[in-house]
Chain A
Amino acid sequence: MHELEIAQEIVAIVNDHAAGARVTRVLIEVGKLAAVLPESLRFCFEVCVEGTSIEGARLDILESPGLARCRGCGAEVVLDQPAGLCACGGADLELLSGRQLQLKEIEVI
Chain B
Amino acid sequence: MCATCGCSDNSRPRLTDLETGLAVPLDEPAEPPRAEHLRHEHGQDRPRVGTTISIETAVLAKNDRLADLNRGWLARRAILALNLVSSPGSGKTTLLERTIRDLAGALPMSVIEGDQETLHDAERIRAAGCRVVQINTGAGCHLDAAMLGRALEQLNPAARSVVLVENVGNLVCPALFDLGERAKVVIVSTAEGDDKPLKYPHMFRAGTIVILNKIDLLPYVPFDEAKFDRHVRAVNPSLRVVRVSATRGDGLSEWYDWLRAAAADVDATVARADL
Residues in chain A within 8 A of chain B (CB atoms):
1-6, 8-15, 17-22, 28, 33-36, 43-44, 47-49, 51-54, 81-83, 85, 91-92, 100-109
Contact = CB atoms under 8 A, between A and B. Distances in A.
Interface in B1-29: 2-5, 29
Interface of B: 2-5, 29-30, 32-35, 38-43, 45-47, 49-60, 62-63, 140-142, 144, 170, 172-173, 175-177, 198, 201-202, 204-205, 233-237
Q: Point out which of A3, A4, A49, A100 has the most chain B C-beta atoms below 10 A from its C-beta.
A: A4
A104 B53 CA distance: 9
A15 B46 CA distance: 12
Given A52-B35, A83-B201, A83-B235, A9 B172 contact: no
A100 to B, nearest CB: 8
Contact of A103 (B43, B59, B141, B235): B59
A19 B42 CA distance: 6
27 contacts: A2-B177, A5-B140, A8-B32, A10-B59, A12-B29, A15-B33, A19-B42, A19-B46, A22-B35, A35-B176, A35-B202, A53-B39, A82-B201, A83-B204, A91-B233, A91-B237, A92-B237, A102-B56, A103-B55, A104-B55, A104-B56, A105-B53, A105-B54, A105-B55, A106-B53, A107-B51, A108-B49
Contacts of A100: 58
A2 B141 contact: yes
B38 A18 contact: yes
Contacts of B235: 82-83, 91
Contacts of A43: 3
Chain B contact surface mostly: mixed
A78 to B, nearest CB: 16
A47 B3 contact: yes
A19 B52 contact: no
A20 B172 contact: no
Contact of B172 (A2, A12, A34, A44): A2
B34 A52 contact: yes
Given A20-B39, A44-B3, A83-B234, A106 B202 contact: no
A64 B176 CA distance: 18
A35 B33 contact: no
A51 B3 contact: no
A4 B177 CA distance: 13
